[in-house]
Structure 1
Amino acid sequence: MSFSKNSSFYRLFAGILILIGILLFPPKVFFDYDFESFFPQDDAELTFYNAFRKEFENDNDYLLIAVGAENAFDSKFLYDFQSLQQKLSGIEGVERVGSILDIEEVVINPFGVNRKKLLRWEDDDQLEAAKEKILSSERWKGNLISQNADFLLMIVHNKQQISKEEGDELYAEIKGILATFDFPKTYTAGKIKAQGEFVSLLQEEFAYFLAISFGLIILILFLIFRSWWTVLVSIIVITVGISWALGLSLYFEKALDVMSVMQPTILSIIGLAALVHYFNHYLNYLRHGYSKEEAIQNAFSEISIAVFLTCLTTALGFISLYLTSVPSLKLFGLYTGIGVLLVFAAVVLLTPALLYLIPVMESKNQASRALFWRTKMRFGFSWVIRRQQWIIIGFSGLSLFALWGLTQLKVNGYILDNLPREHELVQEFSFFDQEFGGSKPLEFQLKSGPGAENLLDLGVLNELEKVEDFIQANFKTAVILSPLSLLKGLNQAMNSGNEKAFSVPSLGQFKRMEPYLERAFEDFPTAVLSEDRKMGRISTRMEDIGSYKSTILREKLEAFLSTEIDPELLSVQITGTSHLIDISHESVSQQMLKGLSVAFLIVAIIAGFLFRSWRISMIVLLPNVIPLLWMCGVMWILGVELKLTTAILFTVAFGIAVDDSIHFMSKLRLELGKGRQWLYALKRTFIDTGKAIILTTIILSSGFAVLMFSQFGVTFYSGLLISMALVFALLADLLLLPVLLIRLGKIWEKKKPNSPR
């Protein structure tokens, strides 16, 4: 590519036309957060759940509302609570509302069906009797009424698979109705609330990180170059590059989500790192007496391939996430990878022309700073030469320790994983976990076995009771809704409402209740049995204990089912959105290996292309694998757990960290192409690229460190772990890589190309 004055202005003009097109026909900017975008799409469990919810319903389309008072059995409070329930029931988008006010005591006798409310407060005696009955029953206390009897629970079931926009409108209307009541305390938790809160936070953080990215650019460039022209050029170029990148994703209707918060910072610091390499070479040529035009042409011609390769490896590191089966990660990786290449395009298209247009006034101290850097880098190379053995021992020891730390890492994630545990939204969900049996939906599919006619066979019901007892004892769930719980309630009704009769009916009792079954299933709060009675569900809630403990419980359940439940009568399978989120965290090793395998292959191919040697390819890989190992050690020390959103960072970190190695090896190739001896070429490479590698690492690591100010877990850990990995990569490139290359001098002499190409 030519970087003459005329061709540079043509490219600038083309870049301006693209930007004008975006401004004249702006894409629609919209934010979204969908829990289901983190489900692994190629997993058989998702296919199973989709069939399950088609038969029954979506398990997380509800809003939990806890309404508090000093005494939940106060008649005025109960009237207000009833009024609230009636108003919420009339909202469009609400399918049904349930609370303890709906619970009926049913008595079936020869004279018919007698129904009366469990909680009545027409007079003090009725209220006191209801209070005693409710608080003495484990079915209601801690489920629909809190343990201390100071909160009542209301469950609002909203429209199935409600859209984000409809959910926002519905939750706003519910909040508005709640505000008309003078309740001392209210808590809410559910999908329509969480998604709205996430998007509000997304909008705040997106604007915040967009602003802070440009502030960071100004600060870093001023500290490095002390010149206004570098700031001006960088702001223009990076603004255009980010506009192109975000514009492309929005034109393809890619919503800005929890992953997109990081994009402005990522793209700006990667673009800035590329610009620093160009500015550094450009100023070096000016100091050596070259004219402005010669300096621009030489600087851009000499390192554009190396800069392109570094941007390419970074982009492919992100794009490799497309190989995962999680939609949110796939799209984040794809559009961020393309965005990196668009930022590189903006740098190459716009920067040369802007440098021709803007007068360059070098700082008075620039020459002395350049001499300082060369002196320090010469000293650094000598230090490395003298301590080769200690460097190898040190890196080996730390890597072995980090490898041990990797074996100690625990895979664990939560439903609200992207928010810190002390966040208000997380605290509200935790309130329901502690007071009302849980906020996390828990679902099981039931199927009658080949030895049973349907799920209502007496033998199946006895097996099902063992399953439900196990679930309640181990999963610590809220009230269970199932075919069995319905039949137990009917049995109680046919025994004068006796609490002790809430049990599996005998064969004779079951025959007496058969005339009432169809109506009973129609009136039940939720569908729990298919029309042919061969398929059913257990529906309940539990505390969000994390995927690690959930996996242990699931394995315990599977062992129980295989040894205690007769498969000829009953089969049970866990399912639901919470289960899918848990298994998405469990798939981290598979997702991580996919991404890293592709990234390793790409870097090996690039190194092989540059040097025509597989040995050198392996040498280039080694200093970039070590930072990933050390990341594991840091995670273990800090107690950071492996989950889907932290596992992908290994691929991203590798794609960015390898840039320094490529710059180093590209410069070494140029020096060797000039006919220099291996050790001298290595010394020149270390001195000339050392400054740029250190500066770009400072830029990249400080840029990623800014992400630690985010409230989102994925953004925070991206900042923490990637910035540390980049520092580790710097140490590996300036200490370990030269030591390894010294030992490969003889191999190069055999493979040495005739020209740098």
Structure 2
Amino acid sequence: MLKLFALKKTIIGFFIILGIASGFLLFNLKFSFDFSQFFPEGDEDLEFYQDFIKDFGTDDNFLLVAVEREGSVFKTDFLNEFHQITIDSKDFPYVTENQSITTLFYPLKSAVGYTRIPIINRKDSTKFAKNWKKIQEDDLFINSLIDENATSLVLALQTEDSIDYKQSTELLSAVRNRLERAGFKKYHLLGRAFFYEALIDMQKRELIVTTIASSLLIFLILFLVYRRIVIIALSLASIFLALLIFMGILSLLGIELTVLAAFYPILLLIVGTSDVIHIMDDYLGKIGNGIEKEKAMQLTLKHVGISTLLTSVTTAIGFASLLTSKSTSVSGFGLNSAIGVLTAFVTVVFFTCALLMIIDKKYLLPKKRNSNRWTSRLLSINSFTKKFPRPILLGSLIFGVFCVLGMNKINTNYQIKNSFPVNSTIANDFEFFQQNYAGFRPLEVAVITEGTHRITDFHVAQEIEKVVQKMKSFPEIRNVQSVNTFYKGFHKANNLNQSAYFVLPETEAEFQKYNKEVKKLARRQFGKFVNAKETKSRITSKVLDVGLDSITRVYTDLNGFFTTRTDSTKVRFKLTGTGILLDKNSFYVRESLINGLLMGALLVALIMALLFRNLKLLLISLLPNILPLLFAAGLLGFLGIPLEATISVVFAIVFGIAVDDTIHFLGRYKVSRDNGHDQEKALEITFSETGRALVITTLSLFFGFMVLLFSIHAPSMTIGLLVSVTLLAALVLDLLLLPVLIRKLL
């Protein structure tokens, strides 16, 4: 390593060039948000859905525009302007279809064929009361195109599948401009394009805010610890260079930044700070004792360099444990974070160490000798552990039991609205549609015929109707539509448009007559519900965002109904859609989390076994790192925070970082023992020489993750709080429990 440092100027120049190149690459960074990022990869339901949408398209390719009017929407000027916007929306970019209640008609069978009756007679205000009464009787458009109080109308736009961020902003710009020209100020949006725009804007804001806040925090910590401008400047340069290079790597690899990207600045800055402080603290201590720079660096790399390498590797392993997640967003975050941690280590070891060896030590050392307050207080903690081992062990046991009790209270009752920025436009609009319409969450039922049966068979239609009526019996499910809607509509049209006749015809003969008329007069709309071979169909609906646990009970009830109350020899029914996949991913969170952490723990145990070559030390090292994980789980349970894909990263962060202090503590203890010191002397040396760095780095981590409390993203705030308090608990366990275990077991 020292041979490399003979080329210290070359190393510094190389990293500076690398940083400049990374700076240019930042302009190519891409942001994305797509609910498909949270779909469970490799799941059979995902494979079914991907095949299903080949016939019917995705179920989230819509944008709903609700316009409110105080009092009532039944005003001529308002209805005419809203109708004109509906007509104009055909020309909005990426819109394939549009619909509003002002453009729809009731079909009515007359002597000369079918005629159309407008649902709302816009040009005749004397019929408004009659129109509204009819709408209420039919209950076809309530909570879908008009709310139950008639104070708002909805323009439903169908968009091209999978439009991206740029396309979303183009569409939304066109919508907003048209609404402003009409003088409509009070409107609400809901749909994929709106989510895309709002959540990516949130990601950009979070990335900037967390970077600035973390930077200010690191500056403050370094100033309070070292009070030397040269050291602060050197440390910040190394840390920011690591972050810059990491972001450049992501850009070069074309990796898109997801909603979890806001954690990258915090992780890189805080983890980088931890590496810098451990190396800086040891190096400054040695040159302060009169050791020459080259010899001091050699001893620093020997004493803490290997430990720092191991902590970086174990932290990377902690994040890599997320690769077991079936969510591409979470697994991608784990892989990227692992790369970032290793990038920070390489930058700190080479760039920082090279700079330290160039700078004259008079610019690094404080003008006044540090007081012995740190050492005396740390040694008093050591004395406390020696004096009260039993209370510490008992307290740790009680703490563990407390954590397990909380862990048993963990729930998965996650709601989509928790993903939105707090008190934002998108959160308010989402709540508006929750309260007044059918919400956002799509729920589809795939209908697949068996044998020679077809969707257009009368007995198959009867089976479909059973499911439709069952779905309508759930208050959480709204706006249920199926192919039967067409047959019921024509049946109603043939009976003077009376609402009581909006049912399936009683005879097969009538049904087949309507079937022919549907295919003749409504072929395009019919094709949205039935495939060309008439072997597949869909039942569409929306489900209110009432929480995963509540929705799961609905799913279970429906699946039981499919099994016991429908004729599977004729037709099969299967729940599908983006909502189902998002919900199913939540069920995988706990399983993948446990598997990933067990795998990570095994790898870390293997590394520690190679480092310590002592089975007892290995066992000692694991216990203080299991308890923080249980603590994080216990907090989730006691605080009633639902466990979902985003929150699951807490455990990877805690596992990856908490073990760092243990490795530094035991690593220094082992070096002291190898140098011939007895157990008590080795513990004193460990506390006095490593304890300060442990406390400083943990406090840096604590306040660093507390920065997330300024986030507008609720899950990020939760993660910041959980990680901060859990890492603080991990430090306490290392300083109190580790010495007791060493004395008891070694």
TM-score normalised per structure 1: 0.94
Q: What is the alpha-carbon distance in structure 2 between the residues aligned to residue 385 and residue 494 of structure 1?
A: 92
Structure 1 residue 525: Cα displacement? 7.5
Structure 1 residue 421: Cα displacement? 5.5
**Equivalent in the alignment of 1:487:** 487
**Equivalent in the alignment of 1:6:** 6
Provide, for residues 15-59 of structure 1, a one-character-per-residue CA deviation record: whole Å limited to 9, x for no partner: 223234435666612322222111111111111111111110110
2:31 maps to amino acid: F
Q: What is the alpha-carbon distance in structure 2 between the residues aligned to residue 148 and residue 514 of structure 1?
A: 35
Q: Is the 8 A contact 2:481 2:540 kept in 1?
A: yes
Q: Is the 8 A contact 2:99 2:155 kept in 1?
A: yes
Q: What is the alpha-carbon distance in structure 2 between the residues aligned to residue 373 and residue 39 of structure 1?
A: 50
Q: What is the alpha-carbon distance in structure 2 between the residues aligned to residue 396 and residue 330 of structure 1?
A: 33
Q: What is the alpha-carbon distance in structure 1 between the residues aligned to residue 24 and residue 181 of structure 2?
A: 45
2:641 maps to 1:646: no
State which of 367, 372, 375 in structure 1 corresponds to 2:370: 367
Structure 1 residue 365: Cα displacement? 5.0
2:132 maps to 1:131: yes
Identity level (%):
29
Matches within 5 A, 1:175-254: 175-254=176-255
1:218 maps to amino acid: F
Structure 1 residue 413: Cα displacement? 2.3
Of stretches 723-732 and 129-138 in structure 1, the one that deviates more from structure 2 is 129-138
Q: Is the 8 A contact 1:438 1:477 kept in 2?
A: no
**Equivalent in the alignment of 1:34:** 34
**Equivalent in the alignment of 1:89:** 90
Matches within 5 A, 1:61-140: 61-69=61-69, 70-109=71-110, 111-140=112-141
Q: Is the 8 A contact 2:486 2:518 kept in 1?
A: no
2:459 maps to 1:459: yes
Q: What is the alpha-carbon distance in structure 2 between the residues aligned to residue 328 and residue 136 of structure 1?
A: 46
Provide, for residues 673-722 of structure 1, a one-character-per-residue CA deviation record: whole Å limited to 9, x for no partner: 11222333233223322221111110111111112211123422221111
Q: Is the 8 A contact 2:444 2:539 kept in 1?
A: yes
SS at match of 1:340: helix
Q: Is the 8 A contact 2:326 2:585 kept in 1?
A: no
Distance 1:142 1:188, change over 3 A: same
Q: What is the alpha-carbon distance in structure 1 between the residues aligned to residue 325 and residue 515 of structure 2?
A: 51
Matches within 5 A, 1:371-390: 371-390=372-391
Q: Is the 8 A contact 1:4 1:297 kept in 2?
A: no
Of stretches 583-592 and 513-522 in structure 1, the one that deviates more from structure 2 is 513-522
SS at match of 1:720: helix
Q: What is the alpha-carbon distance in structure 2 between the residues aligned to residue 142 and residue 632 of structure 1?
A: 40
SS at match of 2:477: coil
1:405 maps to amino acid: G
SS at match of 1:587: helix
Distance 1:692 1:530, change over 3 A: same
Distance 1:26 1:449, change over 3 A: closer
SS at match of 2:474: helix
Unaligned 5+ residue runs, structure 1?
746-757
Structure 1 residue 366: Cα displacement? 4.2
**Equivalent in the alignment of 1:558:** 559
Q: Is the 8 A contact 1:225 1:366 kept in 2?
A: no
Distance 1:95 1:25, change over 3 A: closer
SS at match of 1:417: helix
Structure 1 residue 180: Cα displacement? 0.6
Provide, for residues 427-474 of structure 1, a one-character-per-residue CA deviation record: whole Å limited to 9, x for no partner: 211211211122222211012244x72223333222222211121121
1:566 maps to amino acid: D
Q: What is the alpha-carbon distance in structure 1 between the residues aligned to residue 692 and residue 326 of structure 2?
A: 40
Distance 1:361 1:57, change over 3 A: closer
Q: What is the alpha-carbon distance in structure 2 between the residues aligned to residue 224 and residue 139 of structure 1?
A: 68
SS at match of 1:646: coil
2:277 maps to 1:266: no
2:42 maps to 1:51: no
Provide, for residues 134-180 of structure 1, a one-character-per-residue CA deviation record: whole Å limited to 9, x for no partner: 13332223332111111011101111222222122111111111111
Of stretches 590-599 and 709-718 in structure 1, the one that deviates more from structure 2 is 709-718
SS at match of 1:100: coil
Provide, for residues 345-382 of structure 1, a one-character-per-residue CA deviation record: whole Å limited to 9, x for no partner: 111111123223334253355421xx111111221111
Distance 1:316 1:220, change over 3 A: same
Q: Is the 8 A contact 1:446 1:571 kept in 2?
A: yes
Matches within 5 A, 1:710-749: 710-745=711-746
Q: What is the alpha-carbon distance in structure 2 between the residues aligned to residue 318 and residue 699 of structure 1?
A: 19
Q: What is the alpha-carbon distance in structure 2 between the residues aligned to residue 364 and residue 92 of structure 1?
A: 67
Q: What is the alpha-carbon distance in structure 1 between the residues aligned to residue 397 and residue 222 of structure 2?
A: 36
Provide, for residues 37-83 of structure 1, a one-character-per-residue CA deviation record: whole Å limited to 9, x for no partner: 11111111111111111110110111111111132111111100111
SS at match of 1:274: helix
Q: What is the alpha-carbon distance in structure 1 between the residues aligned to residue 331 and residue 538 of structure 2?
A: 33
Q: What is the alpha-carbon distance in structure 2 between the residues aligned to residue 529 and residue 257 of structure 1?
A: 36
Of stretches 416-425 and 533-542 in structure 1, the one that deviates more from structure 2 is 416-425
Structure 1 residue 477: Cα displacement? 3.0
Structure 1 residue 4: Cα displacement? 7.9
Q: What is the alpha-carbon distance in structure 2 between the residues aligned to residue 292 and residue 429 of structure 1?
A: 61
**Equivalent in the alignment of 1:350:** 351
Distance 1:519 1:478, change over 3 A: farther
Distance 1:527 1:475, change over 3 A: farther
Aligned length: 742
SS at match of 1:480: strand
Q: What is the alpha-carbon distance in structure 1 between the residues aligned to residue 518 and residue 5 of structure 2?
A: 86
Q: What is the alpha-carbon distance in structure 2 between the residues aligned to residue 65 and residue 588 of structure 1?
A: 34
Provide, for residues 625-649 of structure 1, a one-character-per-residue CA deviation record: whole Å limited to 9, x for no partner: 1001111222223221111111222
1:504 maps to amino acid: L
2:454 maps to amino acid: N
Q: Is the 8 A contact 2:434 2:545 kept in 1?
A: yes
Q: What is the alpha-carbon distance in structure 2 between the residues aligned to residue 426 and residue 622 of structure 1?
A: 42
Provide, for residues 172-229 of structure 1, a one-character-per-residue CA deviation record: whole Å limited to 9, x for no partner: 1111111111125211111101111111122222122222222111100011112212
Q: What is the alpha-carbon distance in structure 2 between the residues aligned to residue 598 and residue 296 of structure 1?
A: 35
Matches within 5 A, 1:358-507: 358-359=359-360, 360-364=363-367, 366-368=369-371, 371-420=372-421, 422-450=423-451, 453-506=453-506, 507=508
1:363 maps to amino acid: P
Provide, for residues 509-537 of structure 1, a one-character-per-residue CA deviation record: whole Å limited to 9, x for no partner: 21332331312442437701112222100
Q: Is the 8 A contact 1:3 1:296 kept in 2?
A: no
SS at match of 1:250: helix
1:206 maps to amino acid: L
Q: What is the alpha-carbon distance in structure 2 between the residues aligned to residue 604 and residue 361 of structure 1?
A: 37
SS at match of 1:332: helix
1:62 maps to amino acid: F
1:439 maps to amino acid: F
Q: What is the alpha-carbon distance in structure 1 between the residues aligned to residue 592 and residue 652 of structure 2?
A: 10
**Equivalent in the alignment of 1:290:** 291
Q: What is the alpha-carbon distance in structure 2 between the residues aligned to residue 335 and residue 302 of structure 1?
A: 29
Q: Is the 8 A contact 1:258 1:712 kept in 2?
A: no
